[in-house]
Chains A and B, each alone.
Chain A
Amino acid sequence: MTVLPNARVDDQLFEAVYTQYFDLLQQIAVFKFQVPDSDAEGLVHDVLISYLRKSHEIIDLRSWLIGAICFASRHYWRLNGRTSGVEAGELEADRVDPASLRILDSLPDQLAAREALECLAPRCREILHMRYFEGCTVAEVAARLGVKTKHAQKLISKCLRRAEKLYGQKGQGR
């Protein structure tokens, strides 16, 4: 991970960034997205240029650049009209991200989870409530229960397993 400070960066740092990430980004464009060599270099240059205006606000430069080259490569193929099976499959695989699904579609599952929680024993419900609803750390849960952190972690796992079982039953009922 490269973190650029807000303050004035070293005079040579821009060259260093370009050199450090050029190969990685080009390989992603060429090997993952099959962008031709000649065009991949241009895409990488565009991606690196696009980062400059935001250099002072990007926390994780590596992730940012990888995200950018993936989108730039997809855009390249949209413009160039390629829809081969491999490419389409690749893009589809990239797209699968449960956390990004439409929130309205995922909420019924969340509500089923909530119903499952309501069927748990009060102590389990309290433990999971502290951990996942109030946002307590394991250490905070342990302190509130008056037990050791390790034991709290065991309790959380046990309650989660019970909730999972109940959730399965609720899901089947739907």
Chain B
Amino acid sequence: MKRGPDPARVSEFAETGRKLQREREEVANAVDRLLRDTPRERWSELAKREELRSSGALDRLGLSVTQALGRDPRHALAIAELATSVAESLPSGAYPVLVIAQLRAHAYKDLGKAFLYLGRLPEALAAVDRADACIAEFGALEHDRAIVDVVRATMLHEANRYDEAFALLTRCKQIFRAYGDDKRLLMCGISEGVLLHRMRKYREAREAYLLLLATTSESGDREAVACLHNAIGHCSVELQDFAAAEANLSRAIELLHALGQPLQAAKAELGRGRMLVRKGEIQRGISHLQPIRADFLRHEMTEEAGLCGLEVVEALLLDGAAEKAEALARDITGEFTAAGLNTRAITALAYLREAIAARRASVSLVTTVREYIVSLRTSPEREFAIVG
């Protein structure tokens, strides 16, 4: 076996490392300024700009895509398209081939995420296929492949291809574990729980979260522990295991307040309100939920306030107070309209209000509308459909 590394390779490695690091530090402001000062319809021209043709600029564009996804997916798509153009136009000698492959793969992965948020699933899957193709020949890029596959699993989840999504997440977990990447390993575990929850397998979802909790508690990651207690609490509510729900939601609320995240704590409190309603303590549930809704409205979190309001609508229907339920549904519709939220959500809310007015609304219709509004976060183009 040859002793010691080849000096030329060490030199290539160090020079590349320093170059990537320098770019990461220097280009952030330039990228933000270019995006801000250029109208979106002319962004495609930016791909030719020298200051964008670097790893640092691509990293920054990737971060901008992630930040824009929840706020404005079309904006995110425009940035992701610019990033893929930049990545494709990088000169071959700019970086080692392996780094260029990584840059292109991550640009296409982000493009896939943007398409997914817009509900354009076939294009989203094509983009992650392209990302995979960029790195297929490099055995050293297994970690990058797993990162792309986590995004692909989300797409398969949205396409209701649950078995394939599970299989991919299992493989990704193996890889992240082997690399010692605990953060992404936990993310995969949580994705599995979310998938089970989506399939309404609440018992299995809770077991998955409990498994994660046992390991995460030791790591000292209090944010993750709080998130897991919250998820376990919500599953327990669905399972009508109210003692476990109370214990876990309380723990989540306590931790979230300690972490300085009162609005996340309010979301856990919402679970507690739902629990009271499910227990048949309807008036207590309504009294618990109303201040939470007011809190969300005060923070201009219109969607969260609306979802909380729908919990109250459900409680009022259970209590036989259809007039109050209709009035509240009207308020929520008005708030969504004023905030300019997704028109599909507004249509679904209007349908619910009319159904309550006609005294043909059931609790399950409220649940359907609530779940539909939540699903619009990742599939904003999804149509509202009532089955049965």
Contacts and interface: CB of A to CB of B under 8 A. Distances in A.
Interface of A: 8-9, 11, 14-15, 18-19, 22-23, 26-27, 30, 37, 40-41, 43-50, 52-56, 59-60, 63-64, 67-68, 70-76, 78-79, 95, 97, 99-104, 107, 110-111, 114, 129, 132-137
A60 B180 CA distance: 7
25 contacts: A9-B21, A15-B14, A18-B13, A22-B5, A40-B1, A41-B6, A46-B98, A49-B99, A55-B20, A59-B182, A67-B180, A71-B175, A72-B140, A73-B139, A75-B139, A75-B140, A76-B139, A97-B174, A97-B177, A103-B196, A110-B210, A133-B210, A133-B232, A133-B248, A134-B247
Contact of B139 (A27, A46, A97, A100): A46
Contact of B207 (A14, A54, A111): A111
Contacts of A72: 139-140, 142
A123 to B, nearest CB: 16
Contact of A41 (B2, B12, B144, B203): B2
B179 A64 contact: yes
Nearest to B103: A53
Contact of A63 (B96, B175, B179, B251): B179
A8 B25 CA distance: 8
Contact of B141 (A11, A37, A50): A50
A27 B59 CA distance: 33
Contact of B24 (A11, A56, A75, A111): A56
Interface residues of B, number: 63
Contacts of B181: 64
Interface secondary structure of B, over-half rule: helix
Contacts of A18: 5, 9-10, 13-14
A9 B20 CA distance: 12
Contact of A52 (B13, B210, B217, B228): B13
Contacts of A71: 139-140, 142-143, 175, 178
A103 B192 contact: yes
B4 interface: yes
Given A97-B177, A99-B177, 11 more contacts: A15-B10, A19-B10, A48-B13, A49-B12, A50-B138, A52-B16, A55-B21, A71-B140, A76-B139, A102-B166, A135-B229
A129 B243 CA distance: 12
Interface in B1-40: 1-2, 4-6, 9-10, 12-14, 16-18, 20-21, 24-25
Contact of B142 (A9, A68, A99): A68
B144 to A, nearest CB: 7
B231 to A, nearest CB: 13
B338 interface: no
Given A64-B180, A133-B210, A53 B55 contact: yes
B213 interface: yes
B66 to A, nearest CB: 14
Nearest to B96: A49
B208 interface: yes
Interface of B: 1-2, 4-6, 9-10, 12-14, 16-18, 20-21, 24-25, 55, 59, 96, 98-99, 102-103, 138-144, 166-167, 170, 173-175, 177-182, 192, 196, 203-204, 207-208, 210-211, 213-214, 216-217, 225, 228-229, 232, 244, 247-248, 251
A63 B177 CA distance: 9
A14 B167 contact: no
B208 A103 contact: yes
A19 B5 contact: yes
A60 B99 CA distance: 21
Contacts of B10: 15, 18-19
A14 B13 contact: yes
A50 to B, nearest CB: 4
Nearest to B163: A104
A111 B208 contact: no
A43 B9 CA distance: 12
Contacts of B196: 103
A98 B99 CA distance: 34
Given A53-B55, A74-B139, A104-B166, A37 B14 contact: no
Given A43-B139, A49-B140, A50-B140, A14 B18 contact: yes
Contacts of B14: 14-15, 18
Nearest to B195: A103
B360 to A, nearest CB: 38
Contacts of B211: 110
A64 B204 CA distance: 31
Contact of A79 (B139, B170, B177, B225): B139
Contacts of A129: 247
B204 A104 contact: yes
Nearest to A1: B180
Nearest to A16: B14
Given A100-B173, A111-B207, A52 B139 contact: no
Nearest to B208: A103
Contacts of B180: 59-60, 63-64, 67
